[in-house]
Amino acid sequence: MNRGGDRILWTEKGSGGKATAKSRLLLFFALFMFWLIGGSLFYVWSRIQVIQLGYEISSALKEERTLNGGNKKLRLEIATLKSYARIEKVAAEELGMAKPRPDQVIVIR
């Protein structure tokens, strides 16, 4: 025994290489697992993003259809309000106006 306080744990010179090979293998395995788990998480995240964007697109298309329907209704209402028959009727009934006689019409060129 060595009484100086130092203990020799390995006396063989070749046994240190096995520990290094095992630690390298463990490091390689850990990196591979990290890469595999990271890749899997990225794949799942990207699929969730695709599904979420699909829902957003569907919602936007539904809103577009609703807005187009409202636009059509408003255009129809504008056309109805602009019709000459309606304007003539409102002028005669509500405002008490009458059609001008031919001698009251002045043509400007």
Arithmetic mean of pLDDT, 6-14? 61
Does 11 map to a domain?
A: no
Say yes or no to pLDDT of 25 above 60: yes
Say yes or no to pLDDT of 45 above 90: yes
At residue 52, the pLDDT reads: 98
Does 109 map to a domain?
A: no
At residue 12, the pLDDT reads: 56
Number of domains in the chain: 1
Residue 56 CA to residue 101 CA, distance in Å, equals 62
Does 6 map to a domain?
A: no
Percent of the chain with pLDDT over 90: 72
Residue 100 CA to residue 106 CA, distance in Å, equals 10
Query: Residue 40's domain spans which residues?
Result: 16-104
Q: Is the Cα torsion angle 65, 68, 74, 78 positive or negative in sign?
A: negative
Assign 3-class secondary structure to 20-87. HHHHHHHHHHHHHHHHHHHHHHHHHHHHHHHHHHHHHHHHHHHHHHHHHHHHHHHHHHHHHHHCHHHH
At residue 8, the pLDDT reads: 63
